[in-house]
């Protein structure tokens, strides 16, 4: 036994755990680095039918038997529509300088075309103004999956008309509050909408058709490019971009079959979105694999999709591993997994950022989501979520590593501010740094929130002393 670990044996367990954490300090990052927390409308707002809100595809999808693990829905969720003010107090207490949230399209334009809903617009405008009063920059996402059901009835994202309805929606929001929003992301994770929503059918709108999915991805990308052009035509001062969910794609073994599949899956997840956005074309191998399922693409579409953006948002949770015989399971390599069954793999974030930096002329990058679901226990007013704290710290350290190697990363946002409706997993999976007791809607800061707040304060303390 060395003197070092002798001391460890006598230390308080919390101190021992702390010693396992990477040393990161806010001062290591640029002064204007964006530190935030993120949410999305459907996952927190509730008030599904209040004040003129229209139905979204998720309102309907939740009613399908077996669609949601705990048979729940977003009718009440975190009741954020009523509790937005006290929720923003929590955001402010954390000491973040940015809050990423989404606007519910059917709340502001109930049928996706036609009349706008004044109380819906007012709701988001109040949020924006309150954030500004607190010196917190509003980071808005326009489409975090809750398409107005009335548009779905007309084919939804498969129908090219939806592209134009989306551009109108973007213009309407921008006209109303674009002067005060720091950043607008058009879509959140188009891969999820296309593949989980239209190819596998496990997310709304629950369609399982590969050719529909390919067309949807094309329309999402096109509507992104056209919306960016439309907002620029309104002389937008807001940073405009899109949020993708990307990860390194690793073959489970070095067999030819696993390697070939990993390459194709990388094409489907990463290059299918990155190539059109930053190179103006779809990857040939994926087009060939799609064959007759490839999307209908009009002249000018590719040029429009590649409209320059001000930032790329990345949501990173884990790496992807593929095996041709489907036998690979997360956890089989001994790495810890979260409650979602996702491997904890922070080095994948560094790897991903370096690869994107090498392969594309990247705009500034923001990590728009990063976090984990863990088995939280609320006990005597505390949640000791050491694993989540560690997860966040390791991922911040991983992005710092990529920055040191030359990648222009401008911000990091934790998913999520608070526990919420985790889509097909319902309320069973908790991602918040703030605990929500759904029966009472009581919010409790978990240890991870306390850590994040202390981490963010470090810098202020430093500067106060320095002055
Ligand atoms: C992302 C979503 C977000 C949340 C996290 C866990 O794919 O953007 O809404 O569900 O996963």
CA torsion sign, 252 to 255 to 256 to 257? negative
Which tokens sit at 321?
Answer: 């591993």
User: Quick count: other Cβ atoms within 10 Å of Cβ 297?
Assistant: 15
Ligand 1 atom closest to residue 429's alpha carbon, by position in its atom list: 6
Ligand 1 atom closest to residue 371's alpha carbon, by position in its atom list: 6
Helix-strand-coil percent breakdown of the chain, rounded to 5? 45, 15, 40
Which tokens sit at 95?
Answer: 């000491």
Per mean pLDDT, which of 1-10, 15-24, 132-141 is the most reliable?
132-141
* Residue 295 pLDDT exceeds 50: yes
373 Cα–ligand 1 center, Å: 11
Q: Yes or no: say if 444 and 378 are a contact pair by the CB < 8 Å rule.
A: yes
User: What is the overall mean pLDDT for the chain?
Assistant: 94
163 Cα–ligand 1 center, Å: 23
**pLDDT reported for residue 10:** 40
**pLDDT reported for residue 169:** 99
Q: Catalytic residue, from 45, 189, 343, 422: name it.
A: 189
Which tokens sit at 125?
Answer: 């405008």
| Interacting residues of 14 by C-beta distance below 8 A, sequence separation 6+ | none
Ligand 1 atom closest to residue 340's alpha carbon, by position in its atom list: 6
**pLDDT reported for residue 17:** 59
User: Quick count: other Cβ atoms within 10 Å of Cβ 314?
Assistant: 22
Q: Yes or no: say if 342 and 317 are a contact pair by the CB < 8 Å rule.
A: yes
Q: Is 303 helix (H, G, I), strand (E, B) or coil?
A: helix
207-222 residue pLDDT tens: 999 999 999 999 999 9
**pLDDT reported for residue 382:** 98
Give the H/E segment covering residue 169. helix 161-177
Ligand 1 atom closest to residue 192's alpha carbon, by position in its atom list: 7
Nearest CA to ligand 1 atom 4: 422
| Interacting residues of 1 by C-beta distance below 8 A, sequence separation 6+ | none
* Residue 177 pLDDT exceeds 90: yes
330-359 residue pLDDT tens: 999 999 999 999 999 999 999 999 999 999
Which tokens sit at 171?
Answer: 């213009």
Q: Catalytic residue, from 45, 343, 351, 369: name it.
A: 369
Phi first, then psi, for residue 52 (nearest 5°) are 85, 10
Residues with CB under 6 A from ligand 1: 40, 43, 188-189, 192, 245, 315, 369, 415, 422-423, 431
Share above pLDDT 70 across residues of the chain, in percent, rounded to a whole number: 94
* Residue 463 pLDDT exceeds 90: no
Average pLDDT value for residue range 279-291: 98
Q: What is the DSSP string of 350-363?
A: HHHHHHHHHHS---
Which residue among 44, 422, 427, 430 is best mutated to probe the pocket of ligand 1, counting the most ligand atoms within 8 A of its Cβ?
A: 422
Radius of gyration of the chain (CA): 22
Average pLDDT value for residue range 108-113: 98
| Interacting residues of 394 by C-beta distance below 8 A, sequence separation 6+ | 22, 344, 346
CA torsion sign, 171 to 172 to 178 to 184? negative
Beta bridge partners of 245: 315
Ligand 1 atom closest to residue 188's alpha carbon, by position in its atom list: 8
**pLDDT reported for residue 459:** 53
Which residue among 44, 423, 432 is best mutated to probe the pocket of ligand 1, counting the most ligand atoms within 8 A of its Cβ?
A: 423
Opening angle at CA 51, ends 48 and 54, nearest 5: 50
> How would residue 7 be classed by pLDDT, with cut points 50, 70 and 90?
very low
DSSP 144: S
Nearest CA to ligand 1 atom 9: 40
What are the structural domain ranges in the chain? 5-457
Q: Which of 326, 453, 444, 347 is nearest to 398 (CA)?
A: 347
Which residue among 77, 146, 200, 315 is best mutated to probe the pocket of ligand 1, counting the most ligand atoms within 8 A of its Cβ?
A: 315
| E strand segments, 341-429 | 365-369, 378-379, 382-383, 409-415
Average pLDDT value for residue range 182-211: 98
Phi first, then psi, for residue 434 (nearest 5°) are -120, 130
9-34 residue pLDDT tens: 344 444 545 556 678 999 999 999 99
- 369 as an active site residue: the answer is yes
Average pLDDT value for residue range 123-152: 98
157 Cα–ligand 1 center, Å: 20
214 Cα–ligand 1 center, Å: 21
**pLDDT reported for residue 409:** 98
pTM over 0.75: yes
| Interacting residues of 50 by C-beta distance below 8 A, sequence separation 6+ | 81
8 Cα–ligand 1 center, Å: 38
- 422 as an active site residue: the answer is no
426 Cα–ligand 1 center, Å: 12
Average pLDDT value for residue range 444-456: 98
**CATH dotted code for 5-457:** 3.20.20.80
119 Cα–ligand 1 center, Å: 27
> How would residue 47 be classed by pLDDT, with cut points 50, 70 and 90?
very high
Before 416, cis peptide (omega within 30)? Answer: yes
């Amino acid at each position: 036994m060395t003197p070092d670990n002798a001391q460890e044996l006598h230390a308080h367990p919390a101190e021992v755990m702390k010693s396992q954490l990477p040393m990161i300090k806010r001062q290591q990052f640029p002064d204007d680095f964006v530190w935030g927390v993120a949410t999305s409308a459907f996952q927190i707002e509730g008030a599904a039918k209040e004040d003129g809100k229209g139905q979204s595809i998720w309102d309907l999808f939740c009613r399908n038997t077996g669609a949601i693990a705990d048979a729940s829905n977003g009718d009440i969720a975190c009741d954020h529509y009523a509790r937005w003010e006290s929720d923003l107090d929590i955001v402010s207490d954390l000491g973040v300088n940015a809050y990423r949230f989404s606007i519910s399209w059917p709340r502001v334009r109930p049928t996706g075309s036609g009349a706008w809903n004044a109380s819906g617009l007012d709701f988001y405008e109040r949020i924006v103004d309150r954030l500004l009063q607190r010196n917190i920059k509003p980071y808005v996402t326009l489409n975090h999956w809750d398409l107005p059901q009335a548009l779905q009835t007309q084919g939804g994202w498969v129908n090219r008309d939806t592209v134009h309805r989306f551009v109108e929606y973007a213009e309407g929001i921008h006209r109303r509050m674009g002067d005060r929003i720091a950043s607008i992301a058009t879509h959140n994770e188009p891969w999820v909408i296309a593949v989980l929503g239209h190819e596998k059918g496990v997310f709304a709108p629950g369609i399982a058709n590969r050719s529909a999915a390919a067309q949807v991805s094309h329309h999402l990308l096109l509507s992104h490019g056209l919306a960016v052009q439309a907002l620029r035509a309104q002389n937008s001062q807001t940073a405009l971009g899109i949020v993708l969910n990307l990860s390194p794609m690793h073959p489970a073994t070095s067999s030819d079959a696993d390697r070939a599949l990993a390459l194709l899956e990388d094409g489907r997840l990463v290059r299918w979105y990155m190539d059109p956005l930053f190179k103006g074309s779809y990857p040939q191998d994926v087009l060939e694999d799609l064959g007759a399922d490839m999307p209908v693409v009009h002249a000018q579409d590719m040029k429009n999709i590649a409209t320059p953006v001000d930032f790329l948002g990345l949501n990173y949770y884990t790496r992807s591993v593929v095996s041709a015989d489907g036998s690979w399971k997360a956890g089989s390599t001994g790495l810890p997994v979260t409650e979602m069954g996702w491997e904890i793999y922070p080095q994948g974030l560094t790897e991903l950022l370096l690869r994107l930096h090498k392969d594309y002329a990247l705009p500034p990058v923001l990590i728009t989501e990063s976090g984990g679901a863990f088995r939280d226990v609320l006990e005597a007013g505390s949640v000791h979520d050491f694993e989540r704290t560690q997860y966040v710290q390791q991922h911040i350290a991983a992005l710092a590593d990529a920055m040191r190697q030359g990648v222009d990363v401008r911000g990091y946002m934790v998913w999520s501010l608070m526990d919420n409706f985790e889509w097909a997993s319902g309320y069973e999976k908790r991602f918040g740094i703030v605990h929500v007791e759904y029966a009472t809607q009581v919010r409790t800061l978990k240890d991870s929130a306390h850590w994040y707040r202390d981490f963010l304060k470090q810098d202020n303390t430093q500067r106060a002393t320095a002055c």
